[in-house]
């Protein structure tokens, strides 16, 4: 019976198998052509043999496809590259920026991770620095962020606000450094939250607790409870962080109202160290409902490509700190230095209740030397003292005061 013609079911299975085999062979031969063409294209034209030139002519479609892929790769590469303006160009561009700032009626500053890269801790810099990792989308132990201190850029922004040149600051950063620079809270919107702030949303108005440590150690996407309780209503406190894919609605510290109002009034927007990849999605920050000519003038300081570059009056390819230093020179203003004794976080902070002292394991921002931080509970002081000789102590040793003492 084996020699009998096979029933149709079996025959179609054989057909299917043959078809599948043909498809695999087809794919394999296409891949082979891609490899071959790719190899030939890599050679300089003059070095290609007649046979190789013929291969390219025979497979025009493959040549086109490979060239398209190469163009896409180059564009992507260019967008990630860091570009630096040379010293003269930088100076010239900053002069233009200074003129624009002087003429502005309502200057609003948008900031991103790039303004914190120079935070006084060496581990923040370089290809494996905290910020590089964050920018690559890797998660970083956020307790590291509490070691940062306001940079030259943070301090200059605060100064420009005091001089009434900057009206409002909209930040994507959660590191709390604008607040710690002394910028008044009314002039600040922290669109993605502040890692030192936890809030009670059961209380009305919302009750805020500023802490001297990173409150987010137990929180994550859609899980915002910090484990501590409101001293008024005993409701669980939550962090203020807005994760990717979440919608931030908290009044403080997000202050969307302030950000939207600032954008509405703005005639000049200065973007510092933000890739603008996230910010560009918030249409109200760019007055996109207005015709292009009625929108605020855009000035961008960033080493890398941003999606708003083509719309900018000026793109400055420099480090934020370098640009701010030159800008302060243009304005004849002295660069203010961060001074821990003037860091508002120590007076703003709410002490933990006795039973909460062990509710976290993050490092505490140490109060300045010699300052008895009255807002600290006993436990926190102990903990703050405990880290003095550790990582934080070393970072602090690099500060001005320590140098003065040793000089
Ligand atoms: Zn409450």
Kindly report the CATH class assigned to 87-192+254-334.
alpha beta
Ligand 1 centroid to Cα of residue 186, in Å, is: 23
- The pLDDT of residue 374 is 43
- The pLDDT of residue 140 is 59
What pLDDT band is residue 28 in, cutting at 50, 70 and 90?
very high
- The pLDDT of residue 7 is 57
Residues 6+ apart with CB under 8 A from 155: 181, 335, 336, 337, 338
Ligand 1 centroid to Cα of residue 231, in Å, is: 7
- How far are the Cα atoms of 143, 221, 251 from residue 246, in angstroms, in the given order? 22, 8, 15
What pLDDT band is residue 270 in, cutting at 50, 70 and 90?
very high
Backbone conformation region of residue 282, classed left if phi is above 0, alpha if psi is from -120 to 50, else beta: beta
What is the DSSP annotation of 341-391?
GG-THHHHPPPPPGGGTTS--SPPPPPPTT---TTS-HHHHHHHHHHTTSH
Average pLDDT over residues 124-132: 48
- The pLDDT of residue 147 is 74
Q: Are 109 and 168 in contact (CB under 8 A)?
A: yes
* Local structure of 247: helix, strand or coil: coil
Q: Are 163 and 142 in contact (CB under 8 A)?
A: no
What pLDDT band is residue 229 in, cutting at 50, 70 and 90?
very high
* C-alpha closest to that of 197 among 341, 344, 340: 344
* C-alpha closest to that of 341 among 144, 180, 122, 159: 180
* Percent with pLDDT over 90 in the chain: 65
What pLDDT band is residue 127 in, cutting at 50, 70 and 90?
very low
Token pair recorded at residue 346 = 């120590």
* C-alpha closest to that of 324 among 156, 92, 163: 156
Backbone conformation region of residue 314, classed left if phi is above 0, alpha if psi is from -120 to 50, else beta: beta
Average pLDDT over residues 328-340: 95
User: Domain ranges in the chain?
Assistant: 8-80, 87-192+254-334
Distance CA 339, CA 344 (A): 10
- Whether 306 shows a pLDDT value over 90: the answer reads yes
Least confident among 42-51, 164-173, 309-318, 368-377? 368-377
Ligand 1 centroid to Cα of residue 350, in Å, is: 14
Ligand 1 centroid to Cα of residue 239, in Å, is: 13
Ligand 1 centroid to Cα of residue 208, in Å, is: 9
Ligand 1 centroid to Cα of residue 173, in Å, is: 26
- How far are the Cα atoms of 174, 185, 316, 338 from residue 161, in angstroms, in the given order? 20, 12, 21, 15
- Whether 204 shows a pLDDT value over 60: the answer reads yes
- The pLDDT of residue 193 is 93
- The pLDDT of residue 375 is 42
Measured in whole angstroms, how far is the alpha carbon of residue 223 from the centre of its chain? 21
Overall pTM > 0.85 = no
Higher pLDDT, 63 or 129: 63
- The pLDDT of residue 400 is 32
Q: What are the tens digits of pLDDT across the range 157-191?
A: 999 999 999 999 999 988 999 999 999 999 999 99
Residues 6+ apart with CB under 8 A from 285: 110, 170, 259, 260, 263, 279
Give the annotated binding-site residues for Zn(2+). Answer: 200, 203, 230, 233
Ligand 1 centroid to Cα of residue 237, in Å, is: 8
- Whether 404 shows a pLDDT value over 80: the answer reads no
What pLDDT band is residue 5 in, cutting at 50, 70 and 90?
low
Beta strand residue intervals within 114-176, DSSP E = 166-171
Mean pLDDT of the chain: 84
- CB atoms near residue 1 (< 10 Å): 3
Q: What are the tens digits of pLDDT across the range 72-124?
A: 999 988 888 889 999 999 999 999 999 999 999 999 999 998 898 765 433 33
192 is catalytic: yes
Distance CA 9, CA 207 (A): 73
- Whether 40 shows a pLDDT value over 70: the answer reads yes
- Catalytic pick from 59, 161, 168, 192? 192
Query: Is residue 303 classed exposed, middle or buried when 0-12, 13-18 and 19+ CB atoms within 10 A define those classes?
Result: middle
Average pLDDT over residues 142-168: 88
Higher pLDDT, 206 or 135: 206
* Number of residues that make up the chain: 407
């Amino acid at each position: 019976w084996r020699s009998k013609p096979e029933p149709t079911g079996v025959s179609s299975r054989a057909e299917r198998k043959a078809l599948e085999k043909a498809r695999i062979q087809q794919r394999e031969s296409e891949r082979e052509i891609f490899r071959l063409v790719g190899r030939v294209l890599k050679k300089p034209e003059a070095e290609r043999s007649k046979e190789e030139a013929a291969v390219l002519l025979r497979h025009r479609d493959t040549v086109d496809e490979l060239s398209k892929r190469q163009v896409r790769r180059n564009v992507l590469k260019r967008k990630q590259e860091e570009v630096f303006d040379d010293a003269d160009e930088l100076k010239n561009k900053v002069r233009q920026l200074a003129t624009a700032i002087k003429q502005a009626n309502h200057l609003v500053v948008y900031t991103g991770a790039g303004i914190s890269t120079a935070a006084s801790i060496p581990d923040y810099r370089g290809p494996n620095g905290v910020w590089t990792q964050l920018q690559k989308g890797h998660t970083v132990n956020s307790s590291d962020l509490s070691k940062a201190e306001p940079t030259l850029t943070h301090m200059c922004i605060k100064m420009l606000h005091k001089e009434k040149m900057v009206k409002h600051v909209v930040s994507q950063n959660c590191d709390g450094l604008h607040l710690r620079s002394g910028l008044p809270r009314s002039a600040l919107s922290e669109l993605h939250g502040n890692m030192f702030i936890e809030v009670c949303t059961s209380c009305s108005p919302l009750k805020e607790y500023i802490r001297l440590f990173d409150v987010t150690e137990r929180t994550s996407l859609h899980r915002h409870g910090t484990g501590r309780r409101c001293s008024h209503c005993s409701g669980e406190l939550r962090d203020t962080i807005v994760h990717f894919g979440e919608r931030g609605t908290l009044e403080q510290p997000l202050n969307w109202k302030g950000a939207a109002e600032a954008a509405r009034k703005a005639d000049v927007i200065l973007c510092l160290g933000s890739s603008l990849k996230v910010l560009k999605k918030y249409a109200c920050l760019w007055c996109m409902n207005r015709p292009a000519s009625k929108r605020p003038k855009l000035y961008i300081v960033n080493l890398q490509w941003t999606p708003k570059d083509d719309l900018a009056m000026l793109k400055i390819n420099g480090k934020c700190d370098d640009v701010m230093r030159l800008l302060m020179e243009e304005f004849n203003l002295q660069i203010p230095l961060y001074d821990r004794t003037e860091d508002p976080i120590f007076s703003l902070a709410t002490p933990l209740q006795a039973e909460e002292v062990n509710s976290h394991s993050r490092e505490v921002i140490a109060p300045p030397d010699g300052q008895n931080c009255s807002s600290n509970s006993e436990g926190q002081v102990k903990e703050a003292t405990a880290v003095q000789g550790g990582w934080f102590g070393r970072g602090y040793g690099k500060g001005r005061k320590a140098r003065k003492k040793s000089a």
